[in-house]
Amino acid sequence: MHRRILKGERLVATFVCGCVLFNYPLLSLFDRDVEVFGIPLLYVYVFAAWAGLIALMAWVIERRTE
């Protein structure tokens, strides 16, 4: 039971991290006229943060607790 509560708390923390990553102050840092491999920096940041959050959620959900 305790492990289940801990998993829920970690998922809530991941959600809060996502809210911070996709909020205005951080997004404005990457809104520049710079390209990475021909892709605007903002797009690279958004997709990298999105992929990182998905990976973090998968790690939290699939983590074995013994």
41, 30 contact by CB (below 8 A): yes
Evaluate if residue 59 carries a pLDDT over 80: yes
Give residue-wise pLDDT tens across range 7-57: 889 999 999 999 999 999 999 999 999 999 999 999 999 999 999 999 999
**Global pTM value:** 0.84
- What is the crossing angle of helices 2-21 and 41-62, to 10°? 180
Q: What is the pLDDT of residue 66?
A: 52
* Residue among 18, 29, 26 at smallest CA distance from 57: 18
Q: Which helix (H) or strand (E) holds 27?
A: helix 24-29
